[in-house]
A and B are shown apart, each in its own frame.
Chain A
Amino acid sequence: MSKTIVLGLELVDRQLLDSEDRRCGNVDDLALEGRPGEKLEVVAIFSGPGAWRRRAGLTGRFAAWIGGGRVVRIPWEEVAVVSAHVKLRKRADELGLGRGDDRLRPLIQKIPGADR
């Protein structure tokens, strides 16, 4: 991935898609690395309510608290393509993403006709 990306606009807040095109969260924050004088490098994506704490002051902390505060770190090597969405190389459950949906699914499935 050598294309130049404007991180604030073209990466943060984008939809994450797993290898099977399942929507599994947003890019909520980034981990950057680099020593003084060196170029910064994106090493990971953070996804999940816990990441809002750092982004939006009191509102963000409140929203993170409501959301349960979990945050998942996805190493940059797992990113396949950055376009209108951020496409990942693995399935959501392998990366620890989409857990809310996976936990809720058995409950929804108790209602007849849920799988159609």
Chain B
Amino acid sequence: MKIFQIALGILAAIGGFVDIGDLVFNVSAGATFGYQLLWVIVIGVVGIIVYSEMCGRVATVSGKAVFDAVRERLGFRTGLAALVSAQVVNLMTLTAEIGGVAICLQLLSGLPYRWLIVIAGVVLSIVVWTTSFDWIERIFGYGGLCLLVFAVAAVKLHPAWGAVGHGFVPHVPTQSPLLYAYFAVGLLGAAMTPYEVYFYSSGAVEEQWGPKDLGLNKANAMIGYGLGGFLSFALMIVGGALFLGKGIEPEFLGSIALGAEVPLGQIGLLLALVGILFAVGGAAIDTLFSGAYNLAQFLGWEWGRYRSNSGAPRFTLTWIVLLVLGLGLVMTGVDPVQLTEYAVIFSAVALPLTYIPILLVANDRSYMREYVNGRLANVLGLFYLVVIVVIALTAVPLLILTNAGQN
């Protein structure tokens, strides 16, 4: 039974790994550079594993989720800067994910886009209001597993496997290195999105993990996110095999789904769209809660889905307001795919202020006791801190220099 439960959790983590940022950046990186950026996904996925495990462990042992730690270690003033930047990026991401849901519904039903935004809003509100934390994770995680159709598609498209293998060897091409760097930063930003650690650490408190669950924490982070990374490989390979050199930029979620339709026909298209719908819908809920978690944790308010909606009133009000804001922004007609690109690049800028406090708290023996970071976690943690600072500093200049990947 225990093994069964662990497996269910891991499956949900695989399905929940991919969001609109991963879809957009993996496929367009494939369309632009073929398989040459596969190695960057590996770096990104190991990074999210290292920091998820760490913040999950901190939350499990001390009951502190990320913004609890941010407030404690950065203090009020710097912490407030971290909070504001996190919330701005989070709202952008939320808006992009809701837009993604509406686009999927439109491709599936053919109804007008603005109606579907309203329908998406109503459905999301009802699901969030009535469904418990673990069921939300499961429903959307398992639905997201339909994305595995892209793994089948990747094989069916018969990519040049030699070139795929070469893509895993770190290298920089001589042609357009700036654009290559832009996509590398985007892929890292998409894999290590900050909301994933906000949500993951708060989730550990939601599920009331204790020290006996630390094995589960490790398994979820390593196997769940690790296998989730395979979906990213598949998306990039599909993008490379189908779009590279054809002058096609997958600027629409529909063209990403095309990646499954070309080799697998109608059923491929349907599975891809359903998979994207659940993955993006789940991410919309993750970002929605993350925004409310962050604010409540920074200000010391009661929070959590393990309380009833009225048991944590300000937390509940916060996610309601965020949902309304997100829906309003999608209604303005902003392009969700373009917004995703900006959200991912700006989230790369916000990464250090999220990850530094986690690393500090994970080393605090006074309440982490025997569960403080070991040498491996610290070596990897410091390595990724350097990576994160580099991408934070280069993200916006690259965005401007490459005209958001357009040249």
Chain B residues numbered 59-102 whose CB sits less than 8 Å from any CB in chain A: 62-64, 68, 71-72, 75-77, 79-80
Interface residue A23 (Cβ < 8 Å from any Cβ of B): yes
Interface residue A114 (Cβ < 8 Å from any Cβ of B): yes
Chain A residues numbered 57-116 whose CB sits less than 8 Å from any CB in chain B: 57, 59-60, 63, 83-85, 98, 100-102, 104-105, 107-109, 111, 113-116
Closest Cβ–Cβ distance, residue A84 to chain B (whole Å): 4
Q: Let me know if A101 and B72 touch, CB within 8 A.
A: no
Closest Cβ–Cβ distance, residue A28 to chain B (whole Å): 7
Interface residue A42 (Cβ < 8 Å from any Cβ of B): no
Q: Let me know if B300 and A25 touch, CB within 8 A.
A: yes
Q: Give complex CA distance A25, B68 in Å.
A: 11
Q: Let me know if A115 and B72 touch, CB within 8 A.
A: no
Question: Given the known A-B contacts A59-B77, A60-B77, A115-B308, are A84 and B64 also in contact in the complex, defined by CB atoms under 8 Å?
Answer: yes
Q: Total A-B pairs in contact (CB under 8 Å)?
A: 86
Q: Give complex CA distance A115, B311 in Å.
A: 7
When each residue 255-276 of chain B gets 1 if its CB lies under 8 Å from chain A and 0 otherwise, what string results? Answer: 0000000000000000000000
Q: Give complex CA distance A108, B64 in Å.
A: 26
The closest CB in chain B to the CB of A25 belongs to B300
Q: Specify the main secondary structure of chain B where it touches its partner.
A: helix
Q: Let me know if B76 and A108 touch, CB within 8 A.
A: no
Interface residue A44 (Cβ < 8 Å from any Cβ of B): no
Closest Cβ–Cβ distance, residue B135 to chain A (whole Å): 13
Interface residue B299 (Cβ < 8 Å from any Cβ of A): yes
Q: Give complex CA distance A53, B316 in Å.
A: 27
When each residue 285-304 of chain B gets 1 if its CB lies under 8 Å from chain A and 0 otherwise, what string results? Answer: 00000000000100111110
Q: Let me know if B314 and A16 touch, CB within 8 A.
A: no
Q: Which residues of A contact B63 (CB under 8 A)?
A: 84-85
Q: Which residues of B contact A60 (CB under 8 A)?
A: 76-77
Contact-residue size bin, chain B (C-beta under 8 Å from the other chain): 20 to 34
Q: Let me know if A101 and B76 touch, CB within 8 A.
A: no
Question: Given the known A-B contacts A98-B302, A116-B308, are A55 and B317 also in contact in the complex, defined by CB atoms under 8 Å?
Answer: no
Q: Let me know if A109 and B80 touch, CB within 8 A.
A: no
Q: Give complex CA distance A110, B367 in Å.
A: 40
Q: Which residues of A contact B76 (CB under 8 A)?
A: 13, 28, 52, 55-56, 60
Show 8 A/B contacts (Cβ-Cβ < 8 Å), sorted by A.
Answer: A13-B72, A16-B300, A24-B302, A56-B77, A60-B77, A84-B63, A114-B310, A114-B316
B binding-site residues for A, Cβ under 8 Å: 62-64, 68, 71-72, 75-77, 79-80, 129-130, 296, 299-303, 308-314, 316-317, 366-367
A binding-site residues for B, Cβ under 8 Å: 9-10, 12-16, 22-26, 28, 47, 52, 55-57, 59-60, 63, 83-85, 98, 100-102, 104-105, 107-109, 111, 113-116
Given A13-B71, A28-B76, list of 12 further CB < 8 A pairs?
A: A23-B302, A24-B302, A26-B71, A26-B299, A52-B76, A63-B80, A84-B63, A84-B64, A104-B313, A107-B313, A115-B308, A116-B308
